[in-house]
Amino acid sequence: MISKSWYPAWVRESRKPAFVTGGRKATGLQTKQRFGKGMGLWGNMTAIDVINVENNEGTQGIHNKDLSLAFIACGDLRNVIRTINGLPENYSGTIKIVLNDMNPMAVCRNLIILSILGIIEDVEEAAEHALHLWYSIFLPVSFLTHVSPLLAQASTLKHLDGTPARLTSSTTTYTKWRLDSIRLLFVQMSKKDMDYAAAKEELNSTMNAPERIDYRERQYASLRPSHRVALDAWRRSGMLLPFGAINDDRMSIPNRWLFSPVGDLLLNDGSSGPLDGWDYDEVVKAGRQHGTTDDNLMGGLFFYVKAQLVEFSERLRRFKIQIYSYDHDARDLPRILKSDTSSPQSFDRIEVSNIGNPHAAVVGHFMNWTTWKKSGEITSPMAPPGAVNRATEAMMACKHDMPDRFYLSDNHPKRLKMSASLEIFYDTYVAFQEYFKEEKADTIARKGGLKCRRINKIVPHRPFAQLGTSPDTLPYIDSSERWYRVALLSNSTFCERYVEWVRIGTGV
């Protein structure tokens, strides 16, 4: 796999790959096998700072300002962490944060991670344990001997009726969950540890099933040899650690927060990897700062995420923060918040009624809109005539490590990846505007006193586009390294869109 001459099995065996033929065995239909539960426990889009101080309030305008933030579908904590870590060092206001997700496992994991970051005195140790609970199938032995006893006594995991619980000297949690989430928390915390061999077998049968080799190698085929090895090592070990640091003796406690109560792995072999939720350039930079090479993909990610968690843990101890945790459908959340008078009622980055902040905004992420608007996908018959030809010409003009498609067979991995990457060069703005019109989005927004920003100021309108550019601008590619990062390493569909709504009359 490290060889530059490596090819996927379907090429070596001169056959069509299973993801093209749709074989019943590879999809599990023949054996009725499920390759994991496929629960989304970490994000597949790069973490965003929903405040983005520099482009909005500015350092001087925000350093002593009270803030209310709502993360209404908070499957993991990456956006929360990036946002809090993006505030000025001298920030002195009070931050109220609403965390909500309807998935009981997600809210339990988030609260456990927050508790670890707050109750373990050594922030370096806290960050490393939180990182492994978040991303590793196996935990250090010290988790069992040191962390578990502290969690068993943590007030944050006992006050689940909305009463305040002290996380740190300056941070308080208010958790108000339904019975399903409370029951899951106690079942997971009290159950007997899973056998290591059984957990290892579940990992291998889910993430490395022989009949799914074509699906795995489709991703590997477009990667640099060292990155293929790094991702394959993560899939086989289940541990987020620098390459060469994996130690089965030290990391031998199955992570119950990545397994169901009956022992099923909650991921699947097609799940997004840990890398998808973070900025690749920052990951590489963190790796270099800790003496690893760019080849050590998971090592760089380990150091980057740990640094983010260390900083966040320190800010939990320094900033005045109130965290409100809920487990409801996002559509029901306004009613829940209204009935809970202790929670924030208006938000600097969600609700327009916060008239004290002209930069208040709602950030919307549209991941699956092309399900209803097929013309948003270039491969759809509904795409405009000539769209494929125009996108292909734009791709070939890019000239960044681009093979000549005319010399590649239909099943050549680079040709398959090129076909998937056509979406990068397709302007989805017109189709997205049509989708918005059909859904009466502008009318609904106006009824709520909102308008859509023409130019985003918090997050780019498309993945890998530049912030501050017009909504019809394509993802930004200016070098071979950028092409690799965007087209080959990323698992984005490139159809995703971000929209920012602000209060009518703000002029921002």
**Whole-number pLDDT of residue 503:** 81
Read off the pLDDT band of 351 (50, 70, 90). very low
Residues 394 and 444 both lie in one domain: yes
Number of domains forming the structure of the chain: 2
Query: Does 393 reside within a domain?
Result: yes
Residues 277 and 326 both lie in one domain: yes
Residues 155 and 302 both lie in one domain: yes
The least confident of 16-20, 28-32, 165-169, 360-364 is 28-32
Read off the pLDDT band of 29 (50, 70, 90). very low
Residues 177 and 304 both lie in one domain: yes
Is 504's pLDDT higher than 90? no
Query: Does 3 reside within a domain?
Result: no
pTM above the 0.75 mark? yes
Cβ neighbours for 157, distance < 8 A, ≥ 6 positions apart: 111, 112, 115, 151, 185, 189
- Domain termination site, one of 363, 378, 396: 363
pLDDT tens digit sequence for 408-465: 556 666 667 677 789 999 999 999 999 999 999 889 888 878 899 999 999 999 999 9
pLDDT tens digit sequence for 291-302: 999 999 999 999
Beta bridge partners of 498: 365
Separation in Å, CA 119 to CA 82, 130, 175, 185, 444: 21, 11, 17, 18, 44
285 three-class SS: helix
Determine the Cα angle at 305 with ends 193 and 226, to 5°: 95
Burial class (CB in 10 A: 0-12, 13-18, 19+), 170: middle
Residue listed under structure tokens 């040899």: 225
**Whole-number pLDDT of residue 184:** 96
Query: Does 40 reside within a domain?
Result: yes
Burial class (CB in 10 A: 0-12, 13-18, 19+), 33: middle
503 three-class SS: strand
Residues 305 and 405 both lie in one domain: no
Query: Does 160 reside within a domain?
Result: yes
* Count of residues in the chain: 508
Query: Does 87 reside within a domain?
Result: yes
**CA nearest to 40, candidates 119, 109, 128, 129:** 109
Query: Does 16 reside within a domain?
Result: no
Residues 356 and 424 both lie in one domain: no
- Domain termination site, one of 309, 340, 363: 363
Six token digits for residue 11: 């090429």
pLDDT tens digit sequence for 48-106: 999 988 888 888 889 999 999 999 888 999 999 999 999 999 999 999 999 999 999 99
The full 3-state SS of 109-156, as one line of letters, equals: HHHHHHHHHHHCCCHHHHHHHHHHHHHCCEEEHHHHHHHHHHHHHCHH
CA distance 236 to 242: 14
254 three-class SS: strand
pLDDT tens digit sequence for 111-149: 999 999 999 999 999 999 999 999 999 999 999 999 999
Residues 196 and 335 both lie in one domain: yes
Residues 355 and 469 both lie in one domain: no
**Whole-number pLDDT of residue 245:** 79
Single-letter amino acid, residue 218: R
**Whole-number pLDDT of residue 415:** 67
CA distance 271 to 499: 25
The least confident of 86-95, 153-162, 343-352, 391-400 is 343-352
Query: Does 197 reside within a domain?
Result: yes
Q: Which domain holds residue 381?
A: 366-499
Six token digits for residue 228: 């293929």
Read off the pLDDT band of 32 (50, 70, 90). very low
Separation in Å, CA 306 to CA 173, 254, 422: 23, 20, 35
Residues 243 and 333 both lie in one domain: yes
Q: Which segment, 8-17, 122-131, 382-391, is predicted with the most confidence on average?
A: 122-131
Residues 213 and 324 both lie in one domain: yes
Residues 136 and 188 both lie in one domain: yes
CA distance 45 to 61: 29
Read off the pLDDT band of 355 (50, 70, 90). very low
The DSSP symbol for 487 reads I
CA 503 to chain centre: 28
**CA nearest to 452, candidates 371, 356, 361:** 361
**Whole-number pLDDT of residue 444:** 86
CB crowding 200-214: b at 16 or more within 10 Å, else e: bebbeebbebebbbb
Query: Does 9 reside within a domain?
Result: no
- Domain termination site, one of 301, 329, 363: 363
pLDDT tens digit sequence for 200-223: 999 999 999 998 899 899 888 888
Instruction: Give yes or no for a contact between 84 and 123, defined as CB atoms under 8 angstroms apart.
Output: no
27 three-class SS: helix
Instruction: Give me the percent of the chain exceeding a pLDDT of 90.
Output: 57
Read off the pLDDT band of 271 (50, 70, 90). low
Residues 323 and 391 both lie in one domain: no
